[in-house]
Amino acid sequence: MAALLQVEDLRVSFDSAAGRREVLHGVSFGLESGDALGIVGESGSGKSVSLRSIIRLLPKRAEVSGSVCFDGQEVLSMSSRQLRQYRTGDVAMMFQDPRAHINPVRTIGSFLTELLVLERGVSAKDAESRAVRILGEVGVSSAARRMRQRPSELSGGLLQRVMIAAALLAQPRIILADEISTALDVTTQEEVMAILDEERRQRGLAMVFVTHDLDLAAAVCDRLLVMKDGNVVESLVPGAAMTANDPYTIALMEARSWFESTATQEFPLAVDHG
């Protein structure tokens, strides 16, 4: 089966006062429909740049080479019209800080229904009822009232649920999630991740999930890439027999308590995959 997403020899450089600096040195990975891939690694290792390359969301001064192929189509050479279709139809991106990506003066309802009304030709009434229904599915209580509120009236956890709802409403084929739970407290983080995991699996959506947290990535992903200094240094399948060859990955795993119990792996999240 052909991969839904195939990234090959991806290189990204940035210009700076000190000259050109390559920050991704030939990253390659693939992802099948419905699968979840975790990208873990220390700060500055290239996780976000890799993720943003998938949706071509890098600054203009970034120089990108290699290939990002989505369902047989080369993303790096898409026209602006194709790119718009891809971004509004095939992929949904979620960020660490939703407040930075949602207009503070607009209501949650207007944010959630915009894509359906403007891009998909759905009537405002139908879009609103879909949005209310999906808010309920992701555990937002009093959904109709929330639709009239503004982002500043919602907690970080609630707003991240709204972002999950927005991603699901768009009915993409792949969700790109960049450190979406990092800013949340541990309990809220677990709740948000459990909802995303469950809804994604139910709908058969693929996901690329970027995080510092190896435990979290192992709990919700089918495969993990470990990045260091702009390279993929390891590819792992989460599970009891998870073994690593790269010294950085081994150090990362040895730092985790769950690595000690290789026979009966227990993850910190109570995610029921049914």
Ligand X SMILES: Nc1ncnc2c1ncn2[C@@H]1O[C@H](COP(=O)(O)OP(=O)(O)OP(=O)(O)O)[C@@H](O)[C@H]1O
Interface ranges with ligand X (CB under 6 A): 14, 23, 41, 43-49, 59, 212
Nearer to ligand X, 45 or 113 (CB): 45
Nearer to ligand X, 43 or 264 (CB): 43
Closest among 25, 23, 88 to 59, alpha carbons compared: 23
Minimum CB separation of residue 78 from ligand X in Å reads 21
| Cβ-based neighbours of 188, under 8 Å, separated by 6 or more | 155, 156, 157, 160, 181
User: What is the distance of C-alpha 139 from the center of its chain?
Assistant: 19
Three-class SS of residue 125?
helix
Minimum CB separation of residue 54 from ligand X in Å reads 12
User: What is the distance of C-alpha 67 from the center of its chain?
Assistant: 19
For residues 229 and 23, what is the distance between their CA atoms, to the nearest angstrom? 7
Minimum CB separation of residue 61 from ligand X in Å reads 7
DSSP code per residue over 190-238 = HHHHHHHHHHHHHHT-EEEEEES-HHHHHHH-SEEEEEETTEEEEEE--
**What does the chain come to in residues?**
274
Minimum CB separation of residue 211 from ligand X in Å reads 8
Minimum CB separation of residue 41 from ligand X in Å reads 6
Nearer to ligand X, 23 or 78 (CB): 23
Nearer to ligand X, 21 or 203 (CB): 21
Minimum CB separation of residue 252 from ligand X in Å reads 13
DSSP 8-class letter at 149: S
Nearer to ligand X, 59 or 72 (CB): 59
Nearer to ligand X, 21 or 125 (CB): 21
Nearer to ligand X, 41 or 172 (CB): 41
Cross-sheet strand order for the sheet of 5-16: 19-31, 5-16, 62-70, 73-74
For residues 236 and 222, what is the distance between their CA atoms, to the nearest angstrom? 9
Closest among 248, 245, 185 to 40, alpha carbons compared: 248
Minimum CB separation of residue 49 from ligand X in Å reads 3
Place of tokens 């718009």: 84
